Homo-oligomer: A and B are copies of this chain.
Amino acid sequence: MPPHQSRRTMIADLKGRGPKSAVLCGYIRRIRQTKSTTFVVLHDRSGTIQVVADPALIKGAGLRAESALEVEGLAREDPRAPGGIEFDAAEIRVLNQAADDLPFNSVSRLDDLSPELVINYRPLAMRTERGGAIFQIEAALAQGFRAALIKRGFTEIFSSKIVANATEGGTNLFPIRYFDRAAYLAQSPQLYKEYGVAAFERVFETAHVYRAEPHASSRHLCEYYSLDLEMGFIEGVRDLIELEREILSEIFAEIRARFDKALALFDAYLPELDGAPTWTFDDCLARLRAAHGRDDLTDDLDPAAERQLCAIAEKECGVAAVFVTAFPLASRPFYTHPAADGAHAEGFDLLLRGVEVTTGGKRLHRRADLDAALQSRGINRSGFENHLRMFDFGMPPHGGLAIGLERLTCQVLGLKNIREATAYPRDLNRLQP
């Protein structure tokens, strides 16, 4: 046993070892008192066990749920106990007593509480089985993304989040006072990913990005975690769609295997994406017209359309997911590569279970084309000299995509509000905790 864990035994390690004296550490999930015995359900990160104690042992300690304890005693097999094991306490030390006026505890149902309260007490909410699983699964999604890309020869990059220029246009920026200069929080690592392609062909980054969304919606945050990749020498958008199909199917399979039990707490959906159709934007409009009589969309989809299209895909193809390609070029950013017709974008969105979770596409790779795109969109090119220079040394044809981690978590777990998958959300109203 390594020296930094010398005294403590994890609860999960007691199992199948027969009677064993040990020191356990954890917090109290429940306490039940009878005249002759105190029962404490103790929880650590490995599991839960019932501790049986003589009330005299904790006399005057005023034990309360959520308090942190160290318990010395003897593990004893008991077929009646959950997990087949109980723990007889010989000594109980209170490491930190919980307050006696907590608004909820680790066995509460979060759905019965106000969302604001849950955020204000997030770590306590994370102690509930369901509240903790959300963030464990979210972390596993991010880790799965990295692992899938490392396996495929992608290099991880760490790009600056303090930028002198707007990446995606000039709106929704958070200004920073950078010594005596103006700067902004990065809306995307897009330009840095492209530089990464010039260096390493295939790069990814997992990091926060920032959008000053002046409205509060159930699917927008001012700060969200973006799973970004970019790859060189692609032929077209199909290469990106096939890659995303592969990696998401791989990540979902891993989550299904690892979180088998926790997923049962959710209305979870982690489909194989092989069967998800690829429809052009015009195909989508035709389907929306046919199925819902909609005639109101011209240059982009709206949330209702995203839901409707996923429902149609589920009916037609058995998967509630659609790769939508060929959006009108004008609605995509300046660096977008046009499709062969010049009017549509060589890009795509992935709609999953009714919400856009990915935007991706092929990018312009020639300096002259980028320069012309900036000019035709009326963007001041003087701020882009540093950027254009990066296209001077043989930038290959390339493209990439970005997945919003919180949105992906919501869609996979069937959560209704993105704040359920964001430990400490930042929006128009929230800066704390």
Contact = CB atoms under 8 A, between A and B. Distances in A.
Contacts of A158: 138-139, 142, 208, 225, 405, 423
A263 B139 CA distance: 32
A269 interface: no
B394 A159 contact: no
Interface string A233-255: 11100111011001000000000
A235 B7 contact: yes
Nearest to A246: B2
A127 interface: yes
Nearest to A124: B393
Contacts of A366: 96
Interface size class of A (residues with CB under 8 A): 35 or more
A394 B27 contact: yes
A208 B208 CA distance: 9
Interface stretch (A48-56, A280-288, A424-432): A424-432
A394 B5 contact: no
B68 A200 contact: no
A143 B150 contact: yes
Given A68-B394, A95-B397, A121-B389, A199 B242 contact: no
A126 interface: yes
A31 B327 CA distance: 41
Interface stretch (A160-168, A311-319, A335-343, A373-381): A160-168
Interface stretch (A170-178, A301-309, A411-419): A170-178
A298 to B, nearest CB: 31
Given A68-B394, A223-B160, A176 B176 contact: yes
A233 B6 CA distance: 11
Interface in A255-307: none
A360 B272 CA distance: 43
A31 to B, nearest CB: 13
Given A158-B208, A394-B98, A179 B2 contact: no
A393 B192 CA distance: 42
A22 interface: no
Interface string A208-224: 10101010000000110
A281 B431 CA distance: 38
A45 interface: yes
Given A136-B155, A162-B222, A386-B432, 7 more contacts: A27-B393, A27-B396, A95-B397, A98-B392, A102-B392, A132-B200, A157-B423
18 contacts: A4-B239, A45-B201, A46-B153, A95-B394, A96-B391, A98-B392, A99-B393, A127-B198, A135-B157, A139-B157, A146-B146, A159-B424, A160-B223, A162-B222, A174-B177, A175-B177, A183-B431, A192-B423
8 closest A-B pairs by CB: A126-B199, A4-B239, A123-B198, A139-B156, A99-B392, A4-B242, A68-B394, A123-B199
